[in-house]
Chain A
Amino acid sequence: MWTIYKKEIRSFLSSLIAYVVIAVFLIVTGMFTWLFKDTSVLDSGYANLDPLFSIAPIIFIFLVSAITMRSFSEERKSGTIETLTTRPVSDMSIIMGKYFAGLTLVLFSILPTLLYYYSVNKLSINPEQTGIDKGATLGSYIGLLLLGAVYVAIGTFASALSDNQIIAFLLSMFLCFFFFIAFDFLSDLEFLKNSDFSTEWLGINYHYRSISKGVADTRDLIYFLSLTILFLGFTKFIFGSRKW
């Protein structure tokens, strides 16, 4: 698995995908957090990172889809999948190697934003004692990482479905978008409104917001983990279907 992981990371670095993804993420979140008047921390008057955490899931829909779209599509298109799968590695280690490589890239895009955290804390009225809401921010970071974990699983799955990278990209974007926010809109529909069971609960956004409050609820954790495992399971199923 780690051999595949290393190879994927190297290819992210050599193809410049890694740099572009990290740069785009930082530029866009940076602008929303510090520059744009409507969302900027400086104008909001509160010492928190809400602008970052509300825009990041949307940007990740694009970026994660772009990271993962080639993982299986390209191997299938170029035929290298044949050399790879006839080596003594299991399907699962190929999938996990590619999955963790994608997740690492997400992690490294998020890491530099710790600088935002430091800055906002410094700018707050009393940095030493109260400062930024540490619990909520930590929760938000965990939430963002878990969201990234789900997105990467979805993207990997989409890539396994098609040998066309553009189709994989679009499919991944659609699925990420759907799972992130669509259930919020669906829950507003008349016929889904009255049920005791909240449709909203099915969406990522509900759990993401819940974790962002700084409350480590195991139900949210389980939700994120199950969704990740579900999509990795689908990926294994699709990847194994070449043998039918």
Chain B
Amino acid sequence: MTIRVENLTKIYGPQKAVDNISFELKKGQIVGFLGPNGAGKSTTMKMLTGFIPPSSGNAYIDNINVEEQPLITRSRIGYLPEHNPLYLDMYIREYLRFMAEINNVKNPKKRTEELIELTGLTLERKKKIGQLSKGYRQRVGLAQALIHNPDVLILDEPTSGLDPNQIGEIRKLILEIGSEKTVLLSTHIMQEVEAICQRTIIINRGKIVADAATTELGKRNDTDIVIYVEFSKEISESDLRKIPEVKNVSKGSQPNSWHINTTESQSCKIALNKLIAGVGGYILEQKEEKQSLEDIFQKLTRNVDDL
């Protein structure tokens, strides 16, 4: 029940869509595959599922090479492709039944009903897929990926285009089923990995730029803390810069408010207190702005030539 990727590369013409990436996923992990659009997330997933072959490198599911024995590895993967393609003129039941049979499920009829129940499609079960809203279609896509009870789930942007309630429901579903499976899900939404993934792999321009536990990822860049402070009186920028702990200063949205970058928040706050007390003013508001995963993401995936 593992996914292993070794030096996987995909070249389209002059462009390296995926550039020599390696990682390994163990059983029971939900791993977020994070990256901006066009970073190579989908391409990697397509290679894992055997839809396209890699230009070089290997992908393994349970130590079986995806290219050498595709029929075995495919039967162990549940795959929700990007944009969730479905046969719109089929009925939900008809479609799931078809997917069950094509996956060689033993009792397709029973399994179809189970999945309809599990994915919350019971009320819609008599409709054609084309009549469903996007959220329900996504559930059908997920039901299709789960129908043969695969060990490995590969979900390409499972929540894109859904409203907040639907996103919550899909996430809950993934969390429920993810505990005994290996799940790789791609997204470009940072909150998503924070919400459900134990581990995050950030990919940019085909290269892995970070691979760590999601909580670790947040801590890693904590060295740089931003303090937001609002004074009652005017303080010049040069005065602020004189404080040794202050690394950088930028103006805030309110009058006399500042964003201050520092590495040592404690002594910096004391210095700020002293400074304002020296001119007879007060600190009206002060808060630490924790670096979110979003900032880290932006930092890591900012393109080199944009700097």
Residue ranges of A at the interface with B (Cβ–Cβ < 8 Å): 3-4, 6-7, 10-11, 14-15, 78-90, 242-243
Interface positions, chain B 90-107, Cβ under 8 Å from A, are 90, 94, 98-99, 101-104
Interface pair B83/A79, CB less than 8 Å apart? yes
User: What residue in chain A is nearest B79 (Cβ atoms)?
Assistant: A86
- Per-position 1/0 for B143-183, Cβ under 8 A of A: 01000000000000000000000000000000000000000
User: What residue in chain A is nearest B88 (Cβ atoms)?
Assistant: A78
Q: Quick one: which of A4, A11, A79, A87 contacts B103, CB cutoff 8 A?
A: A87
Interface pair A88/B71, CB less than 8 Å apart? yes
A-B contact list, 14 entries, CB within 8 Å: A3-B102, A6-B101, A11-B87, A11-B90, A14-B90, A79-B83, A82-B51, A82-B85, A83-B81, A84-B102, A86-B74, A87-B99, A88-B74, A243-B53
Once A83-B79, A86-B74, A87-B99 are accepted as A-B contacts, the answer to whether A11 and B53 lie under 8 Å apart by CB is no
Interface pair A82/B81, CB less than 8 Å apart? yes
Alpha-carbon distance A83/B102, docked complex (angstroms):
11
Alpha-carbon distance A78/B83, docked complex (angstroms):
10
Interface pair A78/B52, CB less than 8 Å apart? no
**With a CB–CB cut-off of 8 A, which chain A residues contact B90?**
10-11, 14
Q: Is B59 an interface residue (CB 8 A)?
A: no
**With a CB–CB cut-off of 8 A, which chain B residues contact A88?**
71-72, 74-75, 102-104
Once A88-B74, A89-B102, A90-B71 are accepted as A-B contacts, the answer to whether A15 and B89 lie under 8 Å apart by CB is yes
**With a CB–CB cut-off of 8 A, which chain A residues contact B49?**
86
- Per-position 1/0 for B43-81, Cβ under 8 A of A: 000100111110000000000000000011011010101
User: What residue in chain B is nearest A11 (Cβ atoms)?
Assistant: B89
Alpha-carbon distance A87/B144, docked complex (angstroms):
11
Interface pair A80/B74, CB less than 8 Å apart? no
Alpha-carbon distance A106/B87, docked complex (angstroms):
24
Q: Quick one: which of B74, B87, B88 contacts A87, CB cutoff 8 A?
A: B74
Secondary structure of the A side of the interface?
A: helix
Q: Quick one: which of B89, B102, B104 contacts A14, CB cutoff 8 A?
A: B89
Interface pair B52/A79, CB less than 8 Å apart? no
Alpha-carbon distance A82/B83, docked complex (angstroms):
11
**With a CB–CB cut-off of 8 A, which chain B residues contact A86?**
49-51, 74, 77, 79, 81
Q: Is B86 an interface residue (CB 8 A)?
A: yes
**With a CB–CB cut-off of 8 A, which chain B residues contact A79?**
81, 83, 85
**With a CB–CB cut-off of 8 A, which chain B residues contact A80?**
85-87
Interface pair A10/B87, CB less than 8 Å apart? no
Alpha-carbon distance A81/B81, docked complex (angstroms):
10
Alpha-carbon distance A88/B52, docked complex (angstroms):
15
Interface pair B81/A243, CB less than 8 Å apart? no
**With a CB–CB cut-off of 8 A, which chain A residues contact B79?**
83, 86
**With a CB–CB cut-off of 8 A, which chain A residues contact B144?**
83
Shortest beta-carbon distance, A93 to chain B, in Å? 9
User: What residue in chain B is nearest A94 (Cβ atoms)?
Assistant: B102
User: What residue in chain B is nearest A7 (Cβ atoms)?
Assistant: B98
Alpha-carbon distance A84/B74, docked complex (angstroms):
11
Once A78-B88, A80-B86 are accepted as A-B contacts, the answer to whether A85 and B102 lie under 8 Å apart by CB is no
Q: A79-B83, A81-B85 are in contact. List 8 more A-B contacts (CB 8 A).
A: A14-B89, A79-B85, A82-B81, A86-B49, A86-B50, A88-B72, A88-B104, A89-B102
**With a CB–CB cut-off of 8 A, which chain A residues contact B46?**
82
Alpha-carbon distance A81/B50, docked complex (angstroms):
12
Output the residue of A3, A14, A79 with the most chain B CB within 10 A. Answer: A3
**With a CB–CB cut-off of 8 A, which chain B residues contact A83?**
79, 81, 85-86, 99, 144
Output the residue of A78, A86, A89, A242 with the most chain B CB within 10 A. Answer: A86
